[in-house]
């Protein structure tokens, strides 16, 4: 479970913003939350805001932390950490990231700071029996471990660099169970979905459905429940020799020769309807391809209780399909507790009785400094739980809406 995430000085985010998945005092849909250490944890949340208000930058900050945990062990000496600070602060001001999460039924707190593209501070704590225990604290390249972990990270001293997280080093060069669990959360349990990896998700789904007939049948059933007319799917993956005429002209003769000597995997996916078939990759709409790409990973996330962070879930999808996917995630009963947090412009979701006030968040660009603010509907006074949230948002009642009260007719008349 993701409990909290905060950051500062990351792209349009200047001052600290905090997102929390801890439920407030609202009793609505309390049965859809999970009790942990005396708190109720939310299963889902949605983030709204104007174009350019920083929704994607907030998701990018979470993705940045995940990638740095996984990949910084491979950074070479002298290589800076590629992070983009706020324009008015720059690299001389610290960028701070902090995340609380649960894995293996234990709560963890992890955080670090960057300055001039190098790590200045880092820490990792865990909470067995609800009490905070230090695993390590780091400043620059020096670190101290908690009493329970004395000497267990000595193998990391030679591999720790100013551009490498200690968590990344310790997960690869020590055998501390608690560190392995924390690392596994970022590597396996925290899933980021965005425009840059949609093609990979579709390929993953096709491979899964090619080898697992039951999974393919389940995906087709879900597609039908979402209102499509799809009757089935036929997926075949085989090795194929490349023909010379299939290669682009700009390739060198030497490179062409290497390709022609080998073989590639050929993926053929047919979508079966009542009276005809279509080629999924060549003939189907962006929405259908996105649905097929989403459903296999989504089922894995639901069944195994992972955390899905999604930027612009509705891109390429009809609003009814977006509602169906969110409803599937929120209402599907499983032994684990999956979570989904996503950005969207689809205001219709606010009128469908899916979210509590503390599950609805907004980003807004504040002041001349163009800095992102993040806040939840629960923080706004005089908002009742039976209000029409969609209407209130569109009318500008909650902020986070661009171009209100603009006289378009007057603007056009001046052209």
pLDDT in tens, 191-213: 998 766 667 888 888 888 888 88
Q: Would residue 247 count as lying in a domain?
A: yes
Look at residue 414 and tell me whether its pLDDT is greater than 60. Answer: no
Look at residue 244 and tell me whether its pLDDT is greater than 70. Answer: no
pLDDT in tens, 279-305: 998 998 888 888 888 888 888 898 889
CATH code at position 88: 3.40.50
Q: What are phi and psi of 319, to 5 degrees?
A: -60, -35
pLDDT at 205: 87
Q: 6-20, 111-125, 322-336, 362-376: which has the minimum mean pLDDT?
A: 322-336
pLDDT at 411: 47
Higher-scoring residue by pLDDT: 18, 286: 18
pLDDT at 397: 74
Look at residue 9 and tell me whether its pLDDT is greater than 60. Answer: yes
**What crossing angle do the helices spanning 198-211 and 213-225 adopt, rounded to 10°?**
120
Which uninterrupted H or E stretch holds 359?
Answer: none
Q: Could you give the residue ranges of the DSSP H alpha helices within 286-372?
A: 286-304, 319-331
Higher-scoring residue by pLDDT: 94, 414: 94
Say how far apart CA 360 and CA 347 lie, in whole Å.
11
pLDDT over 70 percentage in the chain: 88
The pLDDT-based confidence of 317 (bands split at 50, 70, 90) is confident
Q: Cβ atoms within 10 A of the Cβ of 212, count?
A: 13
Residues 85, 121, single domain; the answer is yes
Higher-scoring residue by pLDDT: 96, 409: 96
Q: Would residue 228 count as lying in a domain?
A: yes
pLDDT at 251: 62
Candidate ranges 234-243, 351-360, 381-390, 400-409; pick with highest mean pLDDT: 351-360
Residues 132, 278, single domain; the answer is no
pLDDT in tens, 39-65: 999 999 999 988 889 999 999 999 999
Query: Which of 285, 302, 319 is the last residue in one of the domains?
Result: 302
Q: Would residue 415 count as lying in a domain?
A: no
Let me know if 27 is exposed, middle or buried by CB neighbors in 10 A (0-12, 13-18, 19+): exposed
Q: Would residue 412 count as lying in a domain?
A: no
Average pLDDT, the chain: 86
Say how far apart CA 132 and CA 189 lie, in whole Å.
22
pLDDT at 263: 54
Residues 234, 164, single domain; the answer is no
Residues 90, 181, single domain; the answer is yes
Residues 126, 6, single domain; the answer is yes
Residues 125, 225, single domain; the answer is no
Residues 281, 401, single domain; the answer is no
Residues 21 and 337 sit within 8 Å (Cβ to Cβ): no
Q: What are phi and psi of 266, to 5 degrees?
A: -105, 120
pLDDT at 255: 63
Domain count, the chain: 2
Q: Would residue 22 count as lying in a domain?
A: yes
Query: Which of 269, 302, 335 is the last residue in one of the domains?
Result: 302
Q: Would residue 413 count as lying in a domain?
A: no
User: Domain range holding 282?
Assistant: 197-302
Say how far apart CA 183 and CA 141 lie, in whole Å.
20
Please enumerate in sequence order all residues whose Cβ is within 8 A of that of 215, keeping only pairs 6 or more positions apart, or say none: 208, 209, 296, 299
Q: What is the pTM of this model?
A: 0.86
pLDDT in tens, 58-113: 999 999 999 999 999 999 988 999 889 999 999 999 999 999 999 999 999 999 99
Look at residue 154 and tell me whether its pLDDT is greater than 90. Answer: yes
Look at residue 136 and tell me whether its pLDDT is greater than 50. Answer: yes
Residues 4, 128, single domain; the answer is yes
Residues 173, 258, single domain; the answer is no
Query: Which of 276, 302, 328 is the last residue in one of the domains?
Result: 302
pLDDT at 406: 47
For residues 232-259, average pLDDT: 69
Higher-scoring residue by pLDDT: 227, 257: 227
Residues 281, 375, single domain; the answer is no
Q: Would residue 414 count as lying in a domain?
A: no
| Closest by CA position to 398, among listed 363, 351, 352 | 363
| Closest by CA position to 44, among listed 301, 332, 362, 338 | 338
Q: Would residue 160 count as lying in a domain?
A: yes
| Closest by CA position to 139, among listed 125, 160, 159 | 160
DSSP class of residue 49?
A: E
Question: What 3-state class would DSSP assign to 149?
Answer: helix
pLDDT at 408: 43
Residues 37, 62, single domain; the answer is yes
Residues 17, 130, single domain; the answer is yes
pLDDT at 22: 96
Which uninterrupted H or E stretch holds 389?
Answer: helix 389-394
pLDDT at 1: 95
Look at residue 413 and tell me whether its pLDDT is greater than 60. Answer: no
pLDDT at 393: 75
């Amino acid at each position: 479970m993701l409990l909290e995430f905060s950051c500062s000085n990351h792209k349009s985010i200047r001052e600290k913003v905090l997102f929390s998945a801890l439920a407030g005092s609202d009793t609505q849909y309390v049965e859809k939350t999970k009790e942990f250490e005396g708190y109720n944890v939310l299963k889902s949340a949605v983030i709204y805001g104007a174009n350019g208000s920083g929704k994607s930058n907030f998701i990018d900050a979470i993705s940045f932390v995940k990638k740095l945990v996984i990949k910084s062990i491979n950074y070479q000496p002298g290589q800076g950490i590629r992070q983009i600070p706020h324009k008015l602060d720059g690299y001389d001001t610290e960028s701070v990231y902090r995340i609380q999460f649960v894995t293996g039924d234990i709560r963890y707190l992890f955080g670090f700071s960057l300055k001039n593209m190098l790590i200045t501070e880092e820490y990792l704590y865990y909470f067995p029996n609800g009490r905070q225990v230090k695993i390590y604290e780091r400043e620059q390249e020096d670190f101290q471990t908690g009493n329970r972990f004395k000497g267990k990270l000595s193998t990391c001293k030679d591999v720790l660099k100013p551009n490498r997280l200690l968590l990344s080093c310790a997960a690869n060069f020590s055998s501390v169970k608690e560190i392995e669990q924390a690392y596994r959360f970022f590597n396996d349990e925290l899933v980021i979905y965005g425009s840059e990896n949609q093609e990979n998700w579709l390929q993953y789904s096709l491979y899964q459905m090619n080898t697992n007939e039951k999974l393919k049948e389940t995906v087709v059933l879900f597609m039908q429940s979402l209102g499509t007319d799809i009757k089935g799917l036929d997926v075949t993956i085989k090795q194929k020799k490349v023909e010379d005429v299939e290669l682009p002209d700009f390739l060198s003769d030497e490179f062409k020769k290497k390709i022609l000597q080998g073989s590639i995997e050929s993926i053929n996916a047919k979508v079966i309807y009542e009276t005809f078939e279509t080629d999924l990759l060549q003939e189907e709409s962006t929405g259908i391809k996105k649905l097929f790409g989403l459903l296999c990973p989504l089922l894995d996330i639901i069944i195994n209780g992972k955390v899905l962070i999604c930027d612009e879930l509705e891109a390429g999808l009809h609003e009814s399909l977006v509602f169906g996917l969110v409803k599937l995630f929120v209402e599907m009963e499983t032994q684990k507790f999956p979570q989904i947090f996503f950005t969207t412009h689809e205001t219709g979701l606010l009128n469908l009785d899916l979210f509590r006030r503390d599950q609805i968040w907004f980003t807004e660009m504040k002041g001349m400094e163009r800095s992102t603010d993040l806040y939840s509907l629960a923080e706004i006074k005089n908002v009742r739980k039976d209000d029409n949230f969609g209407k209130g948002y569109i009318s500008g009642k909650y902020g986070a809406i661009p171009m209100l009260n603009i006289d378009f007719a007057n603007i056009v008349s001046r052209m």
